[in-house]
Structure 1
């Protein structure tokens, strides 16, 4: 990467870390800290934990498309502003209802698609994977950091302090976007942002819907867990500010488990490993559903849960990228992200309603049973090999598309071809045998 690309990658990663810290820090804290509010109930807690997911799911695709019309930075700055307003409303809330309003507004700042598009704009095709990898690592890091910091901040400043810090971090991101991240040349690529005309086809894709439902269940389960787990730990006479002492070793051990699974997979994503990840999460929920489990059983269950969660969270996006047709990755990832955030909303609602009517043990059991449905969904997923996506430019007209596609499909290592004559774009899915020079000669001779 050159200096410009490195600056963009690090700056965008910082924005992601600061923003996601705000969303995640609340999760291990809210279920216990919210007991001080006059309108507290498990349902309200579920809405507060997962409420941001509803607006994130609804606005993820529209705001990505909007960044194509208005520009990346204006949409990102708008999203950060809305997120900050929601954070400060939640910080000053004296009822759960008002806090939920703040959380829903936080979710309305759905800028993930616009940030990824900006990362594409400021990086060369050859370096784009590295830029995306840096941002991806930052997202994972922000989650682990938030789970540990949340209880510590709550000890000194309470729930209001977490939301106030969250709003302040969002404001701190604005000058980074405005002046530090380069603007770049806008790339309106079907592999970068959702395209309206592709939505129906990809939603009902025979393989992609399985990954979309899988990520919905994945984030439903982690939200369900964080609505229940802090209260479970309190029952072991652990104060909220000491919960980090459980999360820190648990996350450390789960990362070791992730590394072991990744090593065994040898750079591939076998279906058996995806099924194993969901089984680990299911076993964890079954263990937590036991009425008289010990602290050690709880800790072991949470290690199993996060080992499975980490593996699936890391591998599902790569599978979406491999399965999505050439030139349609942006739409596929937009749909995937919408399902992901709706899963968080669903997990909060489900957990709150079940705990209100029955008990935490029943909520854990529902989580366990949902993994059985998940196994059925995953059983129909076909094995796929990781592929590389390449975008090239060329000058050709509609009447040349059919012949050009045929020639490119016969080129070394080319698996799929999508051509857009209006944009002069050639989208390719390729394997390791791909010869870029050969493809370039074919396009130039069209």
Structure 2
């Protein structure tokens, strides 16, 4: 077995290939979706049928179809195969991009964006990743996908204005279709074929667990958080390009010069805050601080200040808070979801995220038509206040973490007996045994967890890794 420089088990060449290829597919989709964010609200004003409401609907409608189809597509892939469903999803995404590119009215773009969202294969890509990685390496592979999504968002926000100046928004939609087809090429040329397809409770939604997840108050707080986060983001991109143009004369084609240093600064500022929260078990405090910062930034936007020298640092604050919250929320879901329910919890979380995109677009557009830009940003201020109230009851995860281990010597024991033996180990807070996957999912207190005792119980099975 290969190991890294620290002596820990490392990704095999096949796992690295799978992780990088699937991350590439994710990135190619995200690039196309996000490139129109910084340019669309100004471009769409001149289209037949364009009103603030229809512009907001065009920007957010893909979130509705994503929210509705994310979990069903994942379940469908269990029946007919991951590769087939990803193929169908990418073709739908490409078709929606072509429809939007060919449209000369806002209504055609709305239809195209809805069809883009119908290619809801994010959960299927994660399931395929789980099929192609070992239990103790899955977290590393998922982290590669997570980083690729963050980088894609940053690159898209900078690249959108650049491409807009050369090929226009229609050209960006054509480029998005090409990127989707490149994703198909990567799927068939670079993604390995798994030996078998299995259900992975730590990565996939289980229908039987949906009711229990939807009753969990801690998870619902986080679901509302990601809903609010992306509703605010979509509403912000409805109003911010217009605010920058009207207040400082900054044209859409010039926005890349603002977003590039802003996003770079936000990442630099975010990292030490995340490290502080993790090392000192103060993640909830950092989390609440980021919500407050995000709300204050929206308040400044709502007040309509016209100085670019003031707007730029406020935009830095907003994106620092956004990046911090975006990276913290999945970690909190992983830690606070009951053992064996992480995949289901993440499915509901993802649907909440996409529904937030839809609501942010529609509500932002309606408010802009009635109250102008202050209404759009005021909506985000209200969302931040509600989010703050909801988060007050969130449990601080402290030193809790999730682990996935191979059952090893316990694989032939009854699930209840295996779970009780693992639960007896010091530092283990909760256990769910998944016999169909040959794994156990643990919640542990990392300060007290007796990992050697677990290794001994499992017959020197590979060491548990954070999930």
Q: Is the TM-score greater than 0.5? A: yes
1:290-439 equivalences under 5 Å are 290-384=303-397, 385-393=399-407, 394-396=410-412, 400-421=414-435, 425-430=439-444, 431=446, 432-435=449-452, 436-439=454-457
Query: How far 1:284 moved relative to its partner?
Result: 0.3
Give the RMSD, CA atoms, in angstroms.
Answer: 1.7
1:252-263 equivalences under 5 Å are 252-263=264-275
Aligned partner of residue 70 in structure 2, secondary structure: helix
Q: Residue deviations 1:400-441, cap 9 Å, x none?
A: 444433222102432211134566553323344323423315
Tell me whether 1:96 sits opposite 2:109 in the alignment: no
Q: Distance in 2 between matches of 1:117 and 1:292?
A: 46
Question: Which moves more between the two structures, 429-438 or 230-239?
Answer: 429-438
Tell me whether 1:289 sits opposite 2:306 in the alignment: no
Q: Distance in 1 between matches of 2:282 and 2:321?
A: 13
Tell me whether 1:150 sits opposite 2:168 in the alignment: no
Q: Residue deviations 1:182-238, cap 9 Å, x none?
A: 121323121121000100110120200000000100011011100101111111212
Q: Residue deviations 1:323-366, cap 9 Å, x none?
A: 11111111000000000010011100111000011111122112
Is the 1:326–1:389 contact (alpha carbons within 8 Å) kept by the matching residues of 2? Answer: no
TM-score (norm 1): 0.95
Tell me whether 1:195 sits opposite 2:213 in the alignment: no
Tell me whether 1:61 sits opposite 2:61 in the alignment: no
Q: CA distance change for structure 1 residues 78 and 411 in 2, over 3 Å: closer, same or farther?
A: same
Query: How far 1:105 moved relative to its partner?
Result: 0.7
Which one of the candidate residues 218, 241, 245 is aligned to 1:207? 218
Q: Residue deviations 1:368-399, cap 9 Å, x none?
A: 122111111110001113413214345457xx
Tell me whether 1:232 sits opposite 2:249 in the alignment: no
Q: Distance in 2 between matches of 1:404 and 1:144?
A: 45
Q: Residue deviations 1:273-302, cap 9 Å, x none?
A: 111000110010110111344222221221
Q: Distance in 1 between matches of 2:85 and 2:138?
A: 21
Which one of the candidate residues 56, 59, 78 is aligned to 2:88? 78
Aligned partner of residue 51 in structure 1, secondary structure: helix
Query: How far 1:54 moved relative to its partner?
Result: 0.2
Q: Distance in 1 between matches of 2:226 and 2:277?
A: 20
Aligned partner of residue 429 in structure 1, secondary structure: strand
Is the 1:408–1:442 contact (alpha carbons within 8 Å) kept by the matching residues of 2? Answer: no
Tell me whether 1:265 sits opposite 2:283 in the alignment: no
Q: Residue deviations 1:294-328, cap 9 Å, x none?
A: 22222122111111111010011011011111111
Paired position in structure 2 for 1:250? 262
Paired position in structure 2 for 1:133? 143
Question: Which moves more between the two structures, 420-429 or 188-197?
Answer: 420-429
Tell me whether 1:167 sits opposite 2:177 in the alignment: yes
Aligned partner of residue 94 in structure 1, secondary structure: coil
Q: CA distance change for structure 1 residues 196 and 49 in 2, over 3 Å: closer, same or farther?
A: same
Is the 2:402–2:441 contact (alpha carbons within 8 Å) kept by the matching residues of 1? Answer: no
Q: Distance in 1 between matches of 2:59 and 2:142?
A: 28
Q: Distance in 2 between matches of 1:324 and 1:178?
A: 34
Tell me whether 1:107 sits opposite 2:117 in the alignment: yes
Q: Distance in 2 between matches of 1:442 and 1:418?
A: 20
Paired position in structure 1 for 2:5? none
Question: Which moves more between the two structures, 263-272 or 274-283?
Answer: 263-272
Is the 2:38–2:237 contact (alpha carbons within 8 Å) kept by the matching residues of 1? Answer: yes
Is the 1:82–1:108 contact (alpha carbons within 8 Å) kept by the matching residues of 2? Answer: yes
Q: Distance in 2 between matches of 1:4 and 1:401?
A: 31
Is the 1:121–1:183 contact (alpha carbons within 8 Å) kept by the matching residues of 2? Answer: no
Tell me whether 1:32 sits opposite 2:42 in the alignment: yes
Query: How far 1:442 moved relative to its partner?
Result: 11
Aligned partner of residue 79 in structure 2, secondary structure: helix
Q: 5+ unaligned residues in a row in structure 2: which ranges?
A: 1-10, 462-467
Q: Distance in 2 between matches of 1:273 and 1:330?
A: 25
TM-score (norm 2): 0.91
Is the 1:88–1:164 contact (alpha carbons within 8 Å) kept by the matching residues of 2? Answer: yes
Query: How far 1:243 moved relative to its partner?
Result: 0.8
